[in-house]
Amino acid sequence: MPSRYSVIRFYANEKSEEYVNLAVVAVDDKGVQCKTLTDFRRASAFTKRDIPELRAIAEEIQYACDSMLPEDNALFDVASEGLDRMFREWQNSIQLSPPRGSTRTAVELIPNLRKRYLVTHSRRDEDKNLSRTDAVLLGMQALRQGVRGRQFGGSEMRIVNRNDAAVIGRSAKGEDVVCRMDYGLKNGVMRIGGFGASFDLKKEENVQETIDSIAMNVTMIRRADKDIPLCVSVVGMGKFRAAAERADTILGELDCHLLGEDHLGEWVEDEVAKLVRA
């Protein structure tokens, strides 16, 4: 069946005509196919935006496309409108290119669009240490998987990045403080909060500094809110075992869970299930 496709572009600023391609979308009467950028270094350097922010936008693009239903009428228009609503906060930065037609199906077309319009993952990245960015992405992916197909009583749950993942905490002096997390689940108020941390660093003291910084933030959050589920998604957990044990103890006392890839998904599933039952 014939399909239509579009490129989702991220503009460096609202007055600029220069942009980077973040995703490609192909649509036919069977559904929506979407592929997003995987290597954000070039896009980050060009747009002057942090890699975690660009990753978060790409994640939300994928989530929006996955949520489109094949039986929708005028499917490409529905997809476009859905993306516009999803990215209202970036409405001056994200645009869809004018749709083009193809004789191929969306499934057949999407691999070629990815090769043509998106910078693919570089092999040399495989030799690099895992970073905090990777940990944040791990957490956001777990949330995305956890909420997929769930109904929250008509309430819209959004996966948010650092720009929108914030709660009011309390300092040691009792003053209100804005505490930002790296990612979270939100429907007007934060329902789940998460931080990212990499243990895949050169020095153990760097890991300890990261955990101490997170613990300080969590302490202020807990003074104001003892119930919000909090976690730290970790990559490279096995590299510094002593630091991991210390971090687990410190954060555990604050009811904040230190989780590697093996246990993160299960924890998210349990917490999301509680929100569905509430």
pLDDT-derived band of residue 46, with 50, 70 and 90 as boundaries?
low
| Residues 89 and 189 placed together within one structural domain of the fold | no
What does the DSSP assignment read for 86-123? HTGGGTTTEEEPPPEEESS-HHHHHHHHHHHHSPPPPG
pLDDT number for residue 7: 87
Same domain, yes or no: 87 and 170: no
| 3-state SS assignment for residue 186 | strand
Bridge partners of 260, per DSSP, are none
Q: Which residue has the higher pLDDT, 79 or 236?
A: 236
Range of the domain at 137: 129-277
Say if residue 208 is in the same domain as residue 94.
no
Instruction: Report the SS3 class of residue 131.
Output: coil
Two structure tokens written together for 127: 């030799």
User: Is residue 103 located within the same domain as residue 9?
Assistant: yes
- Domain boundary among the residues 105, 126, 147 is at 126
DSSP state of 125: G
Query: Residues 108-161: pLDDT tens digits?
Result: 898 888 888 886 444 444 445 778 888 888 898 888 888 877 777 666 788 888
Tell me, yes or no, if the pTM score tops 0.75: no
Instruction: Specify the pLDDT at position 173.
Output: 93
Distance CA 197, CA 93 (A): 28
Read off the DSSP letter of residue 226.
S
Residues 41, 55 contacting (CB under 8 angstroms): no
Model confidence at 200, pLDDT cuts 50, 70, 90, reads: confident
What is the mean predicted confidence (pLDDT) over 246-269? 91
- Are residues 93 and 209 both part of a single domain? no
- CA distance linking residue 35 with residue 26, whole number of Å: 9
Q: Which helix (H) or strand (E) holds 162?
A: none
**Highest-confidence range of 130-144, 208-222, 226-240, by mean pLDDT?**
208-222
The whole-number pLDDT of residue 75 equals 45
